[in-house]
Amino acid sequence: MDWDWDASPTYESERIRIDGSVSPAILYDMKLPRQVEDHEVGLMLSIADRHLDRGLPFVALVRHERGTGVIAARHRKAFADWLEDRRDALKRDDFGVVIAMPEAIFRAVLRVVYRFRTPPLRTITTSDVPSAAAAVRSELRRMGLPITPEIEAFLDGLPP
pLDDT of residue 111: 83
Q: Tally the domains of the chain.
A: 1
In a domain, 18, yes or no: yes
pTM above 0.95, yes or no: no
Q: Is the pLDDT of residue 61 over 80?
A: yes
Instruction: For residue range 28-54, list pLDDT tens digits in order.
Output: 999 999 999 999 999 999 999 999 999
In a domain, 85, yes or no: yes
In a domain, 4, yes or no: no
In a domain, 24, yes or no: yes
CA atoms 147, 159, 157, 39: torsion sign: positive
Q: Is the pLDDT of residue 1 over 80?
A: no
In a domain, 5, yes or no: no
In a domain, 1, yes or no: no
Q: Is the pLDDT of residue 68 over 80?
A: yes
* CATH number of the domain within which 41 lies: 3.30.750.24
In a domain, 2, yes or no: no
